[in-house]
Amino acid sequence: MSEDRTEAALRQELHRIAPDMEIEDIDREGDLREEFDIDSMDFLNLVSALSKSLGITMPEEDYDQMGSYDAMLAYLKAHTS
């Protein structure tokens, strides 16, 4: 899967959950939940939607690897290659 498609999927799902936030306005290395002002349920919805759209498994024990936008993107790229 292309890196562009992976990042597009992440951006799309984040926009669906936090439509008022712009990726360009956040600290890409900051805490994803704080940067997008999402709660635990929103995070689970994000992971579930990304898992489904990208066709990958994202187990709960990996959630600590998805703490920031850049970390989430790196995780997705590593698991969709």
- Give the CB-side neighbour count of residue 48, counting CA atoms within 13 A: 8
Structure tokens at 60: 């709960």
What is the DSSP track for 28-44? TTSBHHHHTT--HHHHH
Its pTM surpasses 0.85:
yes
The 10s digit of each residue's pLDDT in 33-50 is 999 999 999 999 999 999
For residue 37, the model assigns a pLDDT of 93
Q: State residue 81's pLDDT score.
A: 72
Residues of the chain with pLDDT under 70: 1-3
- Domain spans in the chain, listed from the N-terminal domain onward: 3-80
At 4, the amino acid letter reads D
Nearest to 32, CA basis, from 52, 17, 54, 51? 17
Task: Give the three-class secondary structure for 38.
Answer: coil
**CATH class of segment(s) 3-80:** mainly alpha
Looking at residue 55, its pLDDT comes to 94
Q: What is the pLDDT of residue 4?
A: 87
Q: What is the pLDDT of residue 44?
A: 96
